[in-house]
Each structure stands twice: as structure tokens, then as C-alpha cells.
Amino acid sequence: MGLTGAQETALRSGLDELAADDVDANLSSQLEEFITHATDVELFRVNPIRYAEENGLAESAAIDLFLNATKAGLFQMEWNIVCVSCGNVFKSFRNLEKVDPHFHCTLCDMENQSRLDDVIHVVFTVHLAIRDIIFHHPETLALDQLLFDYHYSREARTQSGGTPTAEFLRDATVALQYLEPGEEIGVDIEHDEGSVLVRDWTTSIAFFVGKLEEKSDKSFTLTIDEDGLGHPDFATSKVPIETPLGTLLFPAVHNLGPCTLHLTCTNRSSRRSPIWVVQYGGAFTLDTLSEIEGSRPLSARQLLSTTTFRRLFRSEAPGESEGLSVTDLTYLFTDLKNSTSIYDEIGDASAYNLVRAHFEVVERAVTENQGAVVKTVGDAVMATFLRPVNAVSAALRMQDDLKRVDAGGSTRLELKVGVHRGHSIAVTLNERLDYFGQNVNIAARTQQSAGASEILITQDVLDAPGVIDLLTNSDLEPARTEMKGIAEEIPVFRVSGR
């Protein structure tokens, strides 16, 4: 697709900025090809992890590429709130601070918590100034495009066979169209088993479940009024249906046996309304749509533990009113032992340079192991990692590298490291992203219990995939610790002798 003169100029400017930021020239060239030749769908809500898979790139390289491209004005970063039940992109935000910690999905009636782990996906859409795609103008989309391409995440997949949810629903759709005020539609369905779902898309649902009975003809007239879709013979209060994800509420439920189902739907409202009829073969449970699988999405949890993101978008953080939940994250704390005495031994200037060199060692180990530094307090560092094995690898690396830092004379840099994992709350503190919660406290107390040049890890970290193999050449022994303010006993292990 050809670009306009203004778009070409904007593209060149963005690519020049990538070059100035030392982004690999081959990656920039590949991205330019993608921008100029990809389809509108491909340039909408790009998942860097999928992009990496399709272009033979390292995952981290693709994420960094799109972060830099966003900073250069080539793409816009979006935080998508995705329903874990149906894969609906409930809302899309340009800033994380606008995300509500809780939401109610309008497509499946599911209550959701906006967890950073699996509910908030980060995607990138080509900037309007670079290329104008149809998804920049959702009001102009055809109904099937709006529903399947715009509302459903491409990373949402069914459990059975890994079929994308949007593709699964598209194939199961019997009717999908807008009804003008006063307009009527008729649909005939051979209903031998399974379920038929009828909805006006954004409000109400009629739900039919097959039973083993003699086949017959059944006719129903549904109406859309100002309150949504309904039928006078159906339940007027929402009917709870239990699923592995919890209780879902359906406003209208009717049980049918095998039949030829004749549906008529009339729009008696004053507005144009969509009508959507879906037929599911076999027993229908929302469990088949419950997991976000397949091409793994870039979760907010992963992005927030990326060094490039923290460097380029340090102001991006949840709103201050209420934090966002993180189900599982690994926290690493470090601190220099007796750093105050170093200033007495070698003087302020030399000590300052030495401590700065220590920070470089720690930050390099964190970055090269796919983590991110959250904050520094004095000589202490807090970092987060997506996987415990990366945090332990970083801890080993920083201890090894610190031995090579020349402190001069008898002065030694001795680092205390603690690693723990678990749930926390991501919050905004002093206009920066931070993490709070008992597991963060445990990680900090673990570091405080470590001795000079020691690494302490908790049982939860030791049990994580890959950690025990990583420690094959290290001595590992249980450590006795007293964690102030922690009531429960936390099993901790000392890593040494590497």
C-alpha cells in the first residue's frame, strides 16, 4: 500500500530517530517493510511476541523494537483489558493510569479483575500519521469486522484445538446484522444438540440448551426494546450458570429439546441495534473459551519488568486511587554490606565511584536476565523478573561480577541478595511504578537476613522451573532467618560456594 507524502516524511523521521537511538538497522528495515506492506488487520494491535515468532526474532528484541518505535512516533502503545472468559477487548487505553481495577464484560456478563498477569495485554497499533488503517475509524467498520476483528483479542483462543476465539465464533455464527427500528429478521435452525445464543451484542442474552426429547418445531419471537433483548416467557431475572471461572449471569434462559427452531426478532427500540445468533455444537460451556492461550500475549506484568519500558516510559503507572493486582512476580533485593565504612576507608570520591560501579554491575545483571530495576534506595536495589530462574541467574551474575571490581587495597564490595516470588499490588508512588504487599516484604526481609556476599532464596523460588538446575555448581543449604513483621515461617536457602 502506498503512503502519502506526509506519511512518507513521518516514516522517515521515525526511522531516523530509531537510528539515533542505536536500534539495529536490520530490525528497523524489517519494521519499515512491515509498516508499508502489512494488511490493516496485521498493523492493528500488534503483539510483539507474535511478531517475534513470525520474524525469527528474540522475544526481548521485538518488545524493545516496538517500545522504541512507539517513542519514535511510528506506533501507539495500547493497554487492552481482555475478558478472561470470552476474549473480548473490553476497553483499550493509551495510559495505564486510566485502567479500572475491576470491570464487567458486556459480551459475556463476566465480572473481571484487571490483573497485570493475564487480563491486561499490551499491543501496538501503527500511528495514524504513519499509515491510516480502517481500525483507526471503528465507526466505519462493517459489523463482522467490528465484532470479530475489533472486539476480540487475536490472542484469545479456545481450549479445544487452540482455535482463535474470534474464528471459532465466526464459524458458529448463524446470523449477524443490524436491525433498524421496526425491522424484523427470521432465522431457522436445526437444533439437534448443543446451544443457541441470541443477543443484541451489548446487553441481553437468550440461551437455549438441548435436551434428549422427541424432535419438534419450536417458534419464538424475540424483541429488542430500549432495555435490550427479551421474551415475555423467559426468566425476567438473571439466571446463574456455574462455570470453572465462576458464576455467569444470563438474563434469559429457555430449555429446549431437539427441534427445528424458528426465531423471529423485531427491533422495537428507537435505535439501530445489532442481532447476533450463534449455534454451538455439543454441550456448550464457557470453559471452552476460558483461557488466553496460543500465541502468548504481551502481558502488562511482563512489560513492566522490561528495562527498556522502564527507561522510555517511566511515568506509566497505575492510577493512585487503587493498585492493580499481580498474581505472580519475582522480587530481587540487594544491598551493600557495611557500605558506610567504605567511605571512611578510601574517602568520599573513591567510595562514590566504587558504589557507582556496583550499581552498574547490578543493573547489567538485571537487564541481561530480562528483569527491570524498580528503584534504588541508598545503596539498595529492588528489581522484578517474570521468572524466578532469571532472578537467581541475575543474583549469581552480580555476585561473580562484583568480585572483579577493583576496590583497591583491602576494601571489598560485599553484596547481600534476597529473592522471593508471589502476589503483589502494582501502585504509583512518587509518580513511579512500585510494588507493595507481603511478598515484597518477604523478599526485602530475605535480603536483610543474608550475610556478606550471600544469596538467600525462598522455597517458592527454589521450586520454580529451572532454578535447581541453575544451582548445580553452588552449595545450597537451609538458612535460619528471623523476618521482622512476618508471622508465618518462610523456608529460606543459602546459595554459596559457586
Over residues 375-390, the pLDDT tens digits come to 998 889 999 999 999 9
How confident is residue 285, by pLDDT bands cut at 50, 70 and 90? very low
How confident is residue 426, by pLDDT bands cut at 50, 70 and 90? confident
- Length of the chain equals 498
pLDDT at 92: 84
Dig out the grid coordinates for 242 from the structure.
456455574
Residues 104 and 202 in one domain: no
What region does 269 belong to: left with phi over 0, alpha with psi -120 to 50, or beta? beta
Question: The CATH number of the domain where 366 resides is what?
Answer: 3.30.70.1230
Task: Report the distance separating Cα 332 and Cα 371, nearest Å.
Answer: 10
**Averaged pLDDT for residues 95-105:** 76
Q: What are the CA-CA distances from residue 464 to residues 332, 460, 468, 490, 494 (Å)?
A: 15, 7, 8, 16, 16
Higher pLDDT, 322 or 493: 493
Domain that holds residue 466: 317-496
Nearest CA to 23 out of 65, 55, 62 is that of 65
| In the predicted structure, residue 366 carries a pLDDT above the cut 90 | yes
| Dihedrals phi, psi of 251, to nearest 5 degrees | -65, -30
Residue 304 in any domain: the answer is no
Percent of the chain with pLDDT over 70: 82
Domain end (from 114, 129, 151) = 151
Residues 134 and 87 in one domain: yes
pLDDT at 83: 85
Residues 268 and 360 in one domain: no
Higher pLDDT, 89 or 113: 89
**Averaged pLDDT for residues 413-425:** 93
Which residues lie across from 266 on neighbouring strands?
184, 223
Residue 310 in any domain: the answer is no
**CB of 386 closer than 8 Å to CB of 301:** yes
How confident is residue 96, by pLDDT bands cut at 50, 70 and 90? confident
Residues 263 and 358 in one domain: no
| In the predicted structure, residue 159 carries a pLDDT above the cut 70 | no
pLDDT at 251: 58
**Averaged pLDDT for residues 175-192:** 92
| In the predicted structure, residue 72 carries a pLDDT above the cut 80 | yes
How confident is residue 488, by pLDDT bands cut at 50, 70 and 90? confident
Q: Which residues contact 256 (CB under 8 A, 6 or more apart)?
A: 191, 208, 209, 210, 211, 218
How confident is residue 138, by pLDDT bands cut at 50, 70 and 90? very high
Place of cell 500511528: 127
Residues 13 and 104 in one domain: yes
By mean pLDDT, which of 225-239, 392-406, 448-462 is the weakest?
225-239
pLDDT at 17: 96
Number of domains in the chain: 3
| In the predicted structure, residue 95 carries a pLDDT above the cut 80 | no
**Averaged pLDDT for residues 271-285:** 77
Place of cell 502481558: 299
pLDDT at 115: 84
Task: Report the distance separating Cα 231 and Cα 252, nearest Å.
Answer: 8
Residues 146 and 175 in one domain: no
| In the predicted structure, residue 249 carries a pLDDT above the cut 70 | no
How confident is residue 284, by pLDDT bands cut at 50, 70 and 90? very low
Residues 384 and 468 in one domain: yes
Q: Which residues contact 175 (CB under 8 A, 6 or more apart)?
A: 185, 187, 275, 276, 277
Domain end (from 104, 123, 151) = 151
Domain end (from 271, 289, 307) = 289
Q: Which helix (H) or strand (E) holds 216?
A: strand 216-225
- Angle of CA points 90, 177, 38, to nearest 5°: 60
| Dihedrals phi, psi of 51, to nearest 5 degrees | -60, -40
Higher pLDDT, 136 or 202: 136
pLDDT at 150: 93
Residue 76 in any domain: the answer is yes
- Angle of CA points 479, 482, 486, to nearest 5°: 120
Residues 323 and 268 in one domain: no
pLDDT at 372: 93
| Dihedrals phi, psi of 100, to nearest 5 degrees | -80, 135
Average pLDDT value for the chain:
84
| In the predicted structure, residue 56 carries a pLDDT above the cut 80 | yes
Q: Which residues contact 52 (CB under 8 A, 6 or more apart)?
A: 58, 59, 61, 62, 63
Residue 147 in any domain: the answer is yes
How confident is residue 293, by pLDDT bands cut at 50, 70 and 90? very low
Residue 158 in any domain: the answer is no
3-state secondary structure of 237: coil
Residue 305 in any domain: the answer is no
Residue 302 in any domain: the answer is no
Residues 224 and 136 in one domain: no
By mean pLDDT, which of 151-155, 281-285, 366-370 is the weakest?
281-285
How confident is residue 344, by pLDDT bands cut at 50, 70 and 90? low
How confident is residue 328, by pLDDT bands cut at 50, 70 and 90? very high
Task: Report the distance separating Cα 415 and Cα 362, nearest Å.
Answer: 10
Task: Report the distance separating Cα 349 and Cα 466, nearest Å.
Answer: 41
pLDDT at 317: 65
| In the predicted structure, residue 343 carries a pLDDT above the cut 90 | no
How confident is residue 290, by pLDDT bands cut at 50, 70 and 90? very low
Dig out the grid coordinates for 267 from the structure.
427491533
| In the predicted structure, residue 405 carries a pLDDT above the cut 70 | yes
pLDDT at 445: 93
Task: Report the distance separating Cα 111 and Cα 117, nearest Å.
Answer: 17
Residue 59 in any domain: the answer is yes
User: The pTM is what?
Assistant: 0.82
How confident is residue 245, by pLDDT bands cut at 50, 70 and 90? very low
DSSP-derived secondary structure letter, 97: G
How confident is residue 124, by pLDDT bands cut at 50, 70 and 90? very high
**Number of H helices and number of E strands within the chain?**
14, 24
| In the predicted structure, residue 176 carries a pLDDT above the cut 50 | yes
Residues 118 and 183 in one domain: no
Higher pLDDT, 398 or 216: 398
Residues 112 and 19 in one domain: yes
| In the predicted structure, residue 250 carries a pLDDT above the cut 70 | no
Q: Which residues contact 207 (CB under 8 A, 6 or more apart)?
A: 195, 196, 197, 239, 241, 250, 252, 253, 254
Residues 407 and 456 in one domain: yes
Q: What are the CA-CA distances from residue 186 to residues 195, 220, 225, 253, 266 (Å)?
A: 18, 10, 17, 20, 9
